[in-house]
Amino acid sequence: MGKPTVLYDAKILENGLKNDATRTGIFFVSYNIVKHILLDNRIDLYIYCQKEAKELTIRYFQQEFNHDIKSRIATEGDDLSNITTFLSTVFTTPEYIKRFPQITCFTIIHDVIPLIFPHYFGSAINSWFEELVKGINKNDFYFAVSKYTKQDFIKYIPAIDEQKITVMPLAADSRFYQTKDNIELHNIKTKYKIPLNKKYIFSLCTLEERKNLIRAVSAFISFIEKNKIEDLVYVLGGGTWEVFVGRLEKEVPNYHKYANRIIQAGYVADKDLAVLFSNAEWFVYTSQYEGFGMPPLEAMQCGCPVVVSNNSSLPEVVENAGIMIDYNSLSQHIEAYESYYYNPELRKLNSQEGLLRARQFNWNKSTNIIVNKMIEIEQKKQKKPLISIITITYNLIEKHRESYIKQCIESVHQQTYPNIEHIIIDGASTDGTVKLLNEYVEKGWVTLYSEPDQGIYDAMNKGIAKAHGTYINFLNSDDFFHNNQGIEFSMEYLMKCEADYSFADTLMLQENGEKSLWKGDISKLLIGTHYCHQTMLVKTEVLKSINGFDTSYPVAADSDLMIRLYAKKYKHTYVPFCFLTYRLGGFSGENSTQIRIDHSTSFFNHIGTNINLTPYDCFLLWQQHFFNETLLDKQLNLISKVPAEFGAEYLTNQLIEKTSPYGRIDIPHYLKFYLFGAIPALILHRKSRRNKTYYYLFNTIRVMKIVRHDNKRKFYLFGILPILKIKINSKPTQI
């Protein structure tokens, strides 16, 4: 296997390069992932960016990572046929990427905060999250930054497949380290207007409702007021959301009295954070909810004791290396502050425990999880060949079949088999069908080609030419896979049997809603009730070697294809699994006479002529029409010419059922015989015991006994005198 070619979404990095204020935790997550993946020689990394940011991104990678990406950078519109994998650190996969069916998409999921707390966020954040959720599907893969985040996505977003989520804990950046340089501390305090003669506690976060700062600051004021503490201030680092501006001043009791003890430092430069963390008495982060909780980890990596909430993912990050409290409890905040302030040994212990805990998180470990999973999935893909599913459409809206094509497409999208492309060949529809299909193109579910064609089988041949898959399935626009494991099971049988094509059972759906099962049986190829072509998976190379569909058969080129596959002795396998629903009616149902002509002609040309059947024989045998169109002697003669492999035994049994009362299970209890067709002359009563059937005159005098054993029938007059013996052969029948 070659290396996976991974396309990395640099959108978050672009935002951070344009505006330092956007270089928040998610920026450094993206930064560290790409930094470490660049060093991993198990994959080939490419960068995906906006067109307008291309030059900026190239310069940044050269300056920051000493990496020339000029030949490895892509934008929308570029050919991505060489890419196997796409990785986004936060955003949903772009629609353009989804147009390439060979690309497996991975997204890092952080939290469901906008879903749980929509009232805290503006329309832009909520819109972004809605797009993320909308883009989630069962075919993509996800990295959750914590176990808690994984469980929340499973809980709140049913579209996600929990088997496709891998937990990948984050890590703190190398900018965070323990430092106790007094000169640096003096400079930082001066820069952020922190009193030089006072100690400080620290919070670093965006100043917004969810971070619980009103309660944390209220507790601080109560703490210093209660204990008459003069040597401590509270430093708040981070930008303020517009909706939160002025909230602290309005809602924290006695805020204005102690305003000089609350230092709103605003945005803190990256290079200053290690000093602020390392020299804080303790770090406060009692958020209402976190998907991971990067700031406490950064604090611990700098040796700073922490106070955190005991909810969501924070216990996963901190474990026993800090004080955990109920975010909603003012008294627990105050108690935590008092514990650290009055117990320097506890601060020292938690500083050491925090350093040890932080070492368990590192970016080498995190990116290894990412790369290992991408390699694992790519290996599975390469072991599982690409399947091309081809659907033909033309003016479906005009024919009131809009709901059918939607069901068809969605049933393909829900297949569990991981390596499928769905190709739609449209015959230049003019009724809005193309617009409808383009909605699925934008989702990345289908590849659409729309141009005039010479009919459905010409369109199918175009699909064969466009297909990239090792195997091809033809799925009509009216029909759908009712079981999402159909392709997966078919592929298992194909691989196990090393077959060239497969077929399966079909659920037939009538217009009135009635359903019936069509058992796939290749021995019925002669009579045309063998199997539905839409259950087939056929090797692409085989289809091309026999030149696809023969368009000289106007309505049954699919039957001709199946006949030629058999005649040319390509290896087949039956999949004992029903996964396709076939709607009766439509194209085939409207052309039964022509189908009969096409099928019987093809069978004679490719098989019948070699087994001594005439064109008319093949015509009569189709759908067993000979039972209604010929007399008994001709029926017997025709069946005698049919080889066992094409259903001789089945046809013989059918003949017996149709012509002989003793050959049927549901034989009538009364047989009436009429003189001149009008005068009742004789009534026989039937009784059965196991393999014997008895007929009685006047329900008392036994006149006939019939004994059935395997393929033999023996007739006894009056129940004792043998008068007739019939043997039903599996070879050409003789009676």
Q: What count of other Cβ atoms lies within 10 Å of the Cβ of residue 439?
A: 12
Question: What is the DSSP-derived secondary structure letter of residue 72?
Answer: G
Average pLDDT over residues 50-74: 93
pLDDT at residue 2, as a whole number: 72
Q: What is the DSSP string of 128-187?
A: HHHHHHHH--TTSEEEESSHHHHHHHHHH-TTS-GGGEEE------TT------HHHHHH
Maximum CA pair distance of the chain? Answer: 128
Tell me if 295 sits within 8 A of 238, measured CB to CB.
no
pLDDT at residue 687, as a whole number: 60
pLDDT at residue 569, as a whole number: 94
pLDDT, one tens digit per residue, over 543-598 is 999 999 999 998 889 999 999 999 999 999 999 889 999 998 755 555 778 888 99
User: Pairing relation of β-strands 420-426 and 387-393?
Assistant: parallel
Tokens of 106: 């991975």
Q: What is the CATH number of domain 5-167?
A: 3.40.50
Q: What is the DSSP string of 502-523?
A: EEEEEEEE-TTS-EEEE---GG
Residue 632, pLDDT > 70, answer yes
Angle between helices 344-358 and 294-301 (to 10 degrees): 110
Strands (E), 333-399: 387-393
The percentage of the chain sitting over the pLDDT mark of 70, rounded to a whole number, equals 90
Residue 383, pLDDT > 90, answer no
Confirm or reject CATH 3.40.50.2000 for domain 182-360, answering yes or no: yes
User: Domain spans of the chain?
Assistant: 5-167, 182-360, 392-590, 600-659, 662-727
Model confidence at 677, pLDDT cuts 50, 70, 90, reads: low
pLDDT, one tens digit per residue, over 197-227 is 999 999 998 888 889 999 999 999 999 999 9
pLDDT at residue 379, as a whole number: 86
Residue 438, pLDDT > 80, answer yes
Q: How far apart are the C-alpha atoms of 532 and 556, rounded to whole Å?
A: 12
pLDDT, one tens digit per residue, over 507-549 is 999 988 899 999 999 988 888 888 999 999 999 999 999 999 9
Q: What is the mean pLDDT of the chain?
A: 88
Q: What is the DSSP string of 230-241?
A: -SEEEEEES-B-
Tell me if 456 sits within 8 A of 392, measured CB to CB.
yes
Residue 697, pLDDT > 90, answer no
Q: How far apart are the C-alpha atoms of 58 and 644, rounded to whole Å?
A: 70
Model confidence at 652, pLDDT cuts 50, 70, 90, reads: confident
Q: Calculate the CA dihedral of residues 153, 154, 157, 162 and round it to 10 degrees.
A: 100
pLDDT at residue 135, as a whole number: 81
pLDDT at residue 730, as a whole number: 41
Tokens of 491: 């592929």
Tell me if 49 sits within 8 A of 75, measured CB to CB.
yes
Model confidence at 125, pLDDT cuts 50, 70, 90, reads: low
pLDDT at residue 647, as a whole number: 79
Q: Which of 27-36, 107-116, 642-651, 713-722 has the lowest average pLDDT?
A: 713-722
What counts of helices (H) and strands (E) characterise the chain? Answer: 28, 28
In b/e form, how buried is each residue of 75-106, taking b as 16+ CB within 10 angstroms?
eeeeebeebbbbbbbbebbbebbbbbbebbbb
Tell me if 474 sits within 8 A of 449, measured CB to CB.
no
pLDDT at residue 679, as a whole number: 66
> Which residue's entry shows tokens 């001066």?
190
Q: Which of 4-13, 49-58, 181-190, 666-675 has the lowest average pLDDT?
A: 666-675
Model confidence at 659, pLDDT cuts 50, 70, 90, reads: low
Same fold, 182-360 and 392-590: no
HEC per residue, 203-219: EECCECHHHCHHHHHHH
Instruction: Report which secondary-structure segment, H or E, holds 456.
Output: helix 456-466
Q: Calculate the CA dihedral of residues 545, 546, 552, 555 and round it to 10 degrees.
A: -110
CA distances for 709 relative to 661, 663, 726, angstroms: 16, 12, 11
Q: How far apart are the C-alpha atoms of 461 and 471, rounded to whole Å?
A: 14
**Which phi and psi (to 5°) does residue 46 adopt?**
-120, 155
CA distances for 517 relative to 235, 578, 605, angstroms: 73, 9, 30
pLDDT at residue 735, as a whole number: 25
Residue 665, pLDDT > 50, answer no
**Burial class for 460, CB neighbours closer than 10 Å (0-12, 13-18, 19+):** buried
pLDDT, one tens digit per residue, over 156-173 is 988 888 889 999 999 999
pLDDT at residue 662, as a whole number: 44
Q: Calculate the CA dihedral of residues 394, 517, 731, 618 and round it to 10 degrees.
A: -30
Please name the residues in contact with 423: beta carbons below 8 A apart, sequence gap of 6 or more: 388, 389, 390, 391, 446, 447, 449, 463, 466, 467
Residue 450, pLDDT > 50, answer yes
Q: How far apart are the C-alpha atoms of 391 and 440, rounded to whole Å?
A: 13
Q: What count of other Cβ atoms lies within 10 Å of the Cβ of residue 144?
A: 26
- Reference 310, options 218, 222, 212, 207; nearest CA is 212
pLDDT at residue 651, as a whole number: 82
**Burial class for 672, CB neighbours closer than 10 Å (0-12, 13-18, 19+):** exposed
Residue 95, pLDDT > 90, answer no
Average pLDDT over residues 132-136: 82
> Which residue's entry shows tokens 């000169």?
183
Average pLDDT over residues 292-310: 97
pLDDT at residue 245, as a whole number: 76
Q: Which of 74-83, 359-368, 452-461, 658-667 has the lowest average pLDDT?
A: 658-667
Residue 668, pLDDT > 60, answer no
Model confidence at 115, pLDDT cuts 50, 70, 90, reads: confident
- Reference 480, options 422, 563, 527, 397; nearest CA is 422
Q: How far apart are the C-alpha atoms of 330 and 234, rounded to whole Å?
A: 16
Question: What is the DSSP-derived secondary structure letter of residue 24?
Answer: S
Angle between helices 330-342 and 213-226 (to 10 degrees): 50
Instruction: Report which secondary-structure segment, H or E, holds 674.
Output: strand 670-675
Q: Which residue has the higher pLDDT, 656 or 206?
A: 206
pLDDT at residue 731, as a whole number: 39
pLDDT at residue 732, as a whole number: 34
Confirm or reject CATH 3.90.550.10 for domain 392-590, answering yes or no: yes
Q: How far apart are the C-alpha atoms of 89 and 69, rounded to whole Å?
A: 19
